[in-house]
Amino acid sequence: MDKTIVDILQQAGLLIAELWLLILAVAVLLLDVFSKRKRGYLTNALAIAGIIINFYFIYTTSQKYPIADQATFYFFDSLAVYRYTYLFQFLFNTSALLCLCLGMFGRDNKNVRRGEYLALIIFMLLGLHLLAKPANFLILYLAIELISFSAYMLTYFNLNKWGTEGSLKYLLFGAFSTACMLYGISLLYAFTGSIDLEALQQIVMQTDQVASLLIVGLILVGLVFKLAAFPFQGWAPDTYEVAPTPFVAFLSVAPKIGAVFIITLIWQQLDAINTSSQFLYYLLSFITLGSILFGNLGALWQKKAKRLLAYSSIAHTGFLLLPLFNNSTNSMEPLLFYAFIFMIMNTAAFAWVYFMEVRLKSDKIDALSGCGKVQPFVSVLLLVIMISLTGLPITAGFTAKLFVFSELWQSISTTNTLASIVFIAGLINVLIALYYYLKFPYTAFFKNPPVTTLPFVLNVRQASFILVMTIPLIVFFFKPDWLLVLIESLS
Amino acid sequence: MITIIILLCTENLKSILFGFSASVLLTLPLAMFLPEVYLFTSLFLFSAGISVFLVKKNAIVMLIGIELMLNAANLNLVGFNQLYAAQANGQAFSLFVIVVAAAEAAVALAIILKVYQYYNTAEPDDINEIKEQ
């Protein structure tokens, strides 16, 4: 046989998780066609089971293609296994699983086109799996486009008028930014003749500053858009508001963390040379400070829970990027800790909003009023989630922010003054965030509902979902080393 | 320089057409490889794409602008492949871009069709109901 084919067959095991997801998506679509009368129950069960099985495939891949400190390359240098590849795949998979589980709760009016919805989420997960191991820009581009296209369509899946509007705006923004990114990649190819991620080093060393900054900047545009970070955050509130809420819980976490991973990869390439790093720090502090400030200030005036959480997730993006200021190699650990906690608390918050929507058909924060008197225990869980999103003690949100800020503190003492400005601004913003996050528990406990309406209550299943999501937030505050051990064992 | 070109382009459609045909005329008779020509033509296409995207109101025309931007990238990828002829990296990449762009157009047109059914217009500026919902 041809040597190329032999090579490909030998390395095909690396893609077993991705292949499984592809098969799963097709199976879900087929099952949906043949079991239309059963209200999508079977399809849902199949998708959830498939994603749980996918954990096993990630595990076997990690055994067969072990991680090393340096990246190992496969498929003619187009895919790579980085130190954190499997960890990120695990994160994405968990996020998708939570999203599908959450979707089980509101099936009453959302059973239309259940199969397509699930298949698109699985395709998005497939794109995210590829995003965890790109070695060149072609794979990166394809992964990002796969994620984006699925997301554009999923935004419309509430199947109403506003869904189309949010979807259209998301699509126009998204297509524009990926086109910018693609032009950056093509310029990179023009100057270096290579589409590998390593070509970034070459371009910064060989060409003059303006050209290399233009290229790096253009490539960052696409990624920052996926992040919904500062200059390209405009789509986030509108899109989050009209999209199906379980999907938003996925969209606001997984692609964001994936984009952060790619930015860290690019950062490692550029940091290795250290020539234009001063400018890059200016750019980074612009993005982080901008998104923290914009997210927090935008959230202050929101009346609707989903919109508020959209702005809050923009602010969290800034915090996710803070560890990048420290250019030592272990800066991934606080980032990963933050990513894990962010996933849990954000999903919990969106779950709460989703239950409100299912029951009340609205997501106004005022609808919570009186909830604390009827269901004190569940409302305390809401308080815990919101305190965790703010980043105050006895929740893991505090631990995560503590790690991030202590890492930043170290880089202040070693490198630059820019970090100190970011440090102080970040701390002030935690205080601003306190105001709008506490709106939820405040409304629940202290406001009286209008006499005509009954207060909002959760049923037992919904409350237990919230409880399961809240327990880790408290456990990881007292035992952060448990999560660190998990991170350590996967990387 | 991009801004200058954008300003030039936004003045009227005629200048876009003029510049476009001029750059095509420049590129066609080339027997030997001149990197600058590819670079400037693609830069021109890219800037024209951005200006179309920013200036035009209709969503479909905005998509045409995006298509121009993608093709600017393609031109770079294919053109500079001559310089690095040992591997066909750039040409392979551009094939992927073409296919992905077709998929993108399909998704976008489906969404625009839906928007048109609900709002009777395809101009994003006129569609602003999420906030008032």
The reply to whether A37 touches chain B by the CB within 8 Å rule is no
Task: Identify the bridge partners of residue A405 per DSSP, sorted by sequence position.
Answer: none
Provide the pLDDT for residue B125: 85
List of chain B residues whose C-beta atoms are within 8 Å of the C-beta of residue A217: none
Closest to B104 measured CA to CA, from A345, A237, A145, A141: A145
Q: How far is B115 from chain A (nearest CA, A)?
A: 5
Q: Residue B28: pLDDT above 60?
A: no
Please indicate, yes or no, if residue B132 is contained in any of the structural domains.
no
Provide the pLDDT for residue A460: 86
Q: Which are the contacts of A192, defined by CB distance < 8 A and separation ≥ 6?
A: A199, A202, A203, A206
The reply to whether A185 touches chain B by the CB within 8 Å rule is yes
Tokens of A2: 């041809």
- Chain B interface, best mutation among A75, A156, A168, by max B CB count within 10 A: A168
Check CB contact under 8 Å for B69 and A182: yes
Same domain as B104, residue B47? yes
Contacting B residues, span 37-56, partner chain A, CB-CB under 8 Å: 38-39, 42, 46, 49, 53
The chain B residue lying nearest A138, using CA atoms, is B93
The reply to whether B111 touches chain A by the CB within 8 Å rule is yes
Tokens of B48: 């024209």
Q: Mean of the per-residue pLDDT values for chain B?
A: 82
Long-range contacts of A268-271 (CB under 8 A, 24+ apart): A269/A197, A269/A198, A269/A200, A269/A201, A270/A200, A270/A201, A270/A204, A270/A216, A271/A327
Same domain as B119, residue B77? yes
The dihedral formed by the CA atoms of A336, A339, A345 and A351, expressed in degrees to the nearest 10: -130
Provide the pLDDT for residue B42: 93
Provide the pLDDT for residue A280: 75
Q: Residue B105: pLDDT above 90?
A: yes
**pLDDT tens profile A149-196:** 999 999 998 888 888 999 999 999 999 999 999 999 999 999 988 899
Q: How far is B106 from chain A (nearest CA, A)?
A: 10
Q: What is the DSSP letter of A491?
A: -
| CA–CA distance, B127 with B133 (Å, rounded to integer) | 12
Range of the domain at B18: 1-33
Nearest CB to A182: which of B70, B80, B92?
A: B70
**pLDDT tens profile A113-152:** 788 889 999 999 999 999 999 999 999 999 999 999 999 9
- Chain A interface, best mutation among B6, B47, B62, B76, by max A CB count within 10 A: B76
Please indicate, yes or no, if residue B60 is contained in any of the structural domains.
yes
Cα-based distances in Å from B22 to A10, A88, B17, B25, B41: 51, 49, 8, 5, 10
Please indicate, yes or no, if residue B103 is contained in any of the structural domains.
yes
Highest-pLDDT range among A34-38, A160-164, A206-210: A160-164
ipTM: 0.88
Residue with the bigger pLDDT between B31 and A267: it is A267
Check CB contact under 8 Å for B74 and A242: no
Provide the pLDDT for residue B99: 95
Provide the pLDDT for residue A343: 94
Provide the pLDDT for residue A416: 63
Confidence class for position A350, pLDDT limits 50, 70, 90: very high
Report the b/e string of A217-233 with b at 16+ CB within 10 A.
ebbbbbbbbbbbbbebb
Tokens of A156: 């419309």
Domain ranges of chain A: 3-489
Same domain as B60, residue B11? no
Query: How many C-beta atoms surround the C-beta of residue A165 within 10 A?
Result: 26
Check CB contact under 8 Å for B100 and A145: yes
The reply to whether A301 touches chain B by the CB within 8 Å rule is no
Q: Mean of the per-residue pLDDT values for chain A?
A: 86
Same domain as B67, residue B41? yes
Provide the pLDDT for residue B15: 55
Q: Residue B30: pLDDT above 70?
A: no
Angle at A344 between CA A460 and CA A320, to 5 degrees: 160
Confidence class for position A1, pLDDT limits 50, 70, 90: low
User: Chain A to chain B, count of Cβ pairs less than 8 Å apart?
Assistant: 120
A295, A315 contact by CB (below 8 A) = yes
Same domain as B69, residue B39? yes
| CA–CA distance, A383 with A352 (Å, rounded to integer) | 12
- Element at A33 (helix H, strand E): helix A16-34
Q: How far is B105 from chain A (nearest CA, A)?
A: 10
Highest-pLDDT range among A9-23, A27-41, A259-273: A9-23
Closest to A85 measured CA to CA, from A491, A484, A488: A491
The reply to whether A144 touches chain B by the CB within 8 Å rule is no
Nearest CB to B111: which of A137, A152, A238?
A: A152
A423: left (phi over 0), alpha (psi -120 to 50) or beta: alpha
Cα-based distances in Å from A165 to A118, A156, A305, A309, A358: 22, 8, 20, 20, 22
Check CB contact under 8 Å for B104 and A149: yes
Report the b/e string of B58-67 with b at 16+ CB within 10 A.
ebeebbebbb
Same domain as B103, residue B41? yes
- In chain B, what is the straight-line distance between the N-terminal and C-terminal CA atoms, in Å? 42
Angle at A121 between CA A120 and CA A124, to 5 degrees: 85
| CA–CA distance, A315 with A295 (Å, rounded to integer) | 4
A105, A462 contact by CB (below 8 A) = yes
List of chain A residues whose C-beta atoms are within 8 Å of the C-beta of residue B100: 141-142, 145
Tokens of A250: 């996925």
Same domain as B100, residue B71? yes
Check CB contact under 8 Å for B80 and A190: yes
Same domain as B10, residue B66? no
| CA–CA distance, A240 with A308 (Å, rounded to integer) | 10
Same domain as B92, residue B43? yes
The chain B residue lying nearest A238, using CA atoms, is B130
Q: Could you tell me the pTM of the whole model? A: 0.90
The reply to whether A166 touches chain B by the CB within 8 Å rule is yes
Secondary structure class of A81 (helix, strand, coil): strand
Check CB contact under 8 Å for A183 and B89: no
- Chain A interface, best mutation among B58, B107, B112, by max A CB count within 10 A: B107
Same domain as B24, residue B40? no
Provide the pLDDT for residue A449: 76
Nearest CB to A189: which of B46, B76, B129?
A: B76
Provide the pLDDT for residue A76: 83
Please indicate, yes or no, if residue B25 is contained in any of the structural domains.
yes
List of chain B residues whose C-beta atoms are within 8 Å of the C-beta of residue A181: none
The reply to whether A242 touches chain B by the CB within 8 Å rule is yes
Same domain as B82, residue B25? no
Confidence class for position A369, pLDDT limits 50, 70, 90: confident
Number of domains in chain B: 2
Q: How far is A299 from chain B (nearest CA, A)?
A: 14
Confidence class for position A256, pLDDT limits 50, 70, 90: very high
Check CB contact under 8 Å for A195 and B89: yes
Per-residue pLDDT averaged across A68-89, rounded? 87
Provide the pLDDT for residue B19: 60
**pLDDT tens profile A404-432:** 888 888 777 666 677 788 888 888 888 88
List of chain B residues whose C-beta atoms are within 8 Å of the C-beta of residue A238: 130-131
Provide the pLDDT for residue A5: 87
Check CB contact under 8 Å for A162 and B130: yes
List of chain A residues whose C-beta atoms are within 8 Å of the C-beta of residue B62: 172
Please indicate, yes or no, if residue B85 is contained in any of the structural domains.
yes
Highest-pLDDT range among A293-302, A442-451, B44-53, B83-92: B44-53
The chain A residue lying nearest B76, using CA atoms, is A186
List of chain A residues whose C-beta atoms are within 8 Å of the C-beta of residue B59: 168, 172
The chain A residue lying nearest B63, using CA atoms, is A172
| CA–CA distance, A445 with A451 (Å, rounded to integer) | 16
Q: Over pLDDT 90: what percentage of chain A? A: 37
The reply to whether A75 touches chain B by the CB within 8 Å rule is no
Q: Over pLDDT 70: what percentage of chain A? A: 94
Same domain as B19, residue B60? no
